[in-house]
Structure 1
């Protein structure tokens, strides 16, 4: 049986003033429907580049991505992205930020009443139903991320792509957001690809952890199966030796890799081409 989402021997090379720079090489990963997979590795290893290729924001130089056996060639509502920065429209209310996405995706298939109810439903999923009329400047960073997740979920994507969505939050808010994601994923059975630098976050949330080697020419170094029962309770896992075993395995892998060379990440950022504008924000 073919995979629900298949990243098939993907590689990408960017032109630079000093010649071609191979950022990714031979990335191969099959993901099942409803699976949560995290990507972890040192800065500059190409995690976001993998995510952007799956999102259709970048085109692979070699290989490709298949979703339900159809090639991914461009952005689409079947793959919603949640970035580290919330990317909400500041002049719109919480409700209108989500409603805009709902109207774009379902404008022809749902009635006005249905789109209104669907917007409210998704805001309730992330516990933001109390702040419908507030604008982004009037809510906290954690609330903004909740709205961004609600907007992504409201599009009913087949795959939810999350690029360090909790990285800019304080530790307490981050904990609440992780718990919210666990709750939502358990309810909706979304397929999720999550980029993180947080080892505990990766183990807590994931079915598999994909550990990437350092760039350039970064590839998959190891894939760790996380065999922890769901639903997961962070307090119970704090005393679970299996949880600590998985955590130690990821830490060991990361420590065995040397940190990226100084300036490498900045150079890669300067040389990375501009992404295609995504309709799914």
Structure 2
């Protein structure tokens, strides 16, 4: 079976003329439809660079990305991105922030009523239907990120790209949003690529974890399958042997085989 999303021989070098710096080399990854893949590694290993290449925000120096066998060479609504910063427009309400994306993608193909219903549906999906009239300044950081996720989902992307989406949140809000994302994944079975620094988050949410070697010239070091049945419940996994094994494998990769450079100098 062919891959839904295929990253083939991707490499990128910054400042190729003056001071060439290879950020990524020889990245190959096949992702199936409906799969949740996390990418983890130390700072500077090119995680966000790879995500931006898949998003079409950066063009690789070598290789390419193919979505349903079509070359990705520019941004598009088939790949929605959720960044650590929610990027909501402060002068618009919660509803208007999501409706703006819906109108942009479906303005010519759906009626006003259909777009209104679809906007409300996605806000309800992330538990924000009670705050549709509020502005970003009136809601918490976790709620803002929920709206950002609703906006991305409302575009009906083929691939949802998430760059440390919960990294700026406190532990409680982070856990709540992780649980919400698992529920959404169980409902929609959408294809997700998520960048994270959090080992527990990666094991909890993912079908596979892609572990990157240190930069520069970073590449995929190992890929770990997470054979935990879905739906998953956080408390049930606390003493689960498979969960503990997977967590240990990621930690061993990051801190035994690929320690950060400053750790060796300490």
TM-score normalised to structure 2 length: 0.97
Q: How many residues align?
A: 262
Summarize the alignment of residues 1-281 of structure 1 with structure 2, pairs less than 5 Å apart: 1-15=1-15, 19-256=19-256, 257-261=258-262
**Whole-angstrom CA distance in 2 between matches of 1:17 and 1:144:** 41
Listed one character per residue, the Cα deviations across residues 70-118 of structure 1 (whole Å, up to 9, x for unaligned) are 0000000000000000000000000000000000000000000000000
**Whole-angstrom CA distance in 2 between matches of 1:261 and 1:55:** 31
Q: What stretches of structure 1 of length at least 5 have no aligned partner? A: 263-281
Listed one character per residue, the Cα deviations across residues 15-45 of structure 1 (whole Å, up to 9, x for unaligned) are 0796100000000000000000000000000
**Whole-angstrom CA distance in 2 between matches of 1:260 and 1:236:** 36
Q: RMSD between aligned alpha carbons?
A: 1.1
Dislocated runs of 4+, deviation >3 Å = none
Is the 1:162–1:192 Cα contact (8 Å) retained in structure 2? yes
Listed one character per residue, the Cα deviations across residues 55-82 of structure 1 (whole Å, up to 9, x for unaligned) are 0000000000000000000000000000
Is the 1:46–1:215 Cα contact (8 Å) retained in structure 2? yes
**Whole-angstrom CA distance in 2 between matches of 1:112 and 1:171:** 39
> Larger deviation: 129-138 or 15-24?
15-24
